A and B are shown apart, each in its own frame.
Chain A
């Protein structure tokens, strides 16, 4: 069964700092990869996704992620964070085939941005 590991449980940054959140997955086949964000008191929202093609994907609010197949990684990046980026971020993997679109999530990374 696939698994997803997010390296950091809690990241604290100042505004304008650069962000990189790590995500590694374990599955040897074709995968679809996602980052979801959960703002305080709100539901999970899709930030970006990778299905195929260019391994560098851009999402909403200036976020991007790079799929590195050889490293089984899908790290999330943002060049300059804002206070409004304070949220919990979840990496998720869809392993395809008979998984019927079932997502396996990482444990989440809480991002706190200080103004």
Chain B
């Protein structure tokens, strides 16, 4: 499978614990995105990497959230001191920057439930 890969697919954690999600983008894609989706809503942008550089962060991304993309390959999204409001699907996506257009491909997502 050469699509965007995310793990774990599901995570249940107690409030206050830290969680980390991993994303492996499509090979050679230089752009990587994290989105969050809650029930009944469309995905909301969290952050974006071009290669290893984190170029944009949404105001949705509180100080408890941190994302990295070492070496410009896979990425991790860590949530510290989780809260019940963090319960959502965390989507990773990747794309290859082109002058003519930029098609973004999504992974299957990582479901987080904070109890």
Contact = CB atoms under 8 A, between A and B. Distances in A.
A94 B84 CA distance: 31
Main secondary structure of the interface of A (DSSP, over half): strand
B42 A90 contact: yes
Interface of B: 31, 33, 40-45, 48, 50, 55-56, 91, 95, 97, 100-109
27 contacts: A32-B101, A32-B102, A34-B103, A34-B104, A36-B106, A43-B91, A43-B108, A43-B109, A44-B106, A46-B105, A49-B103, A51-B100, A90-B43, A94-B102, A101-B31, A101-B48, A101-B97, A101-B104, A102-B45, A102-B48, A103-B104, A105-B42, A105-B44, A106-B42, A107-B40, A107-B42, A108-B42
Given A102-B33, A105-B42, A107-B42, A46 B103 contact: yes
Contacts of B41: 107-108
A36 B104 CA distance: 10
B37 to A, nearest CB: 9
Contacts of B109: 43
When A and B form their complex, which 7 residue pairs have the shortest distance between CB atoms, in order from nearest?
A: A105-B42, A51-B101, A101-B102, A43-B108, A44-B106, A105-B43, A108-B42
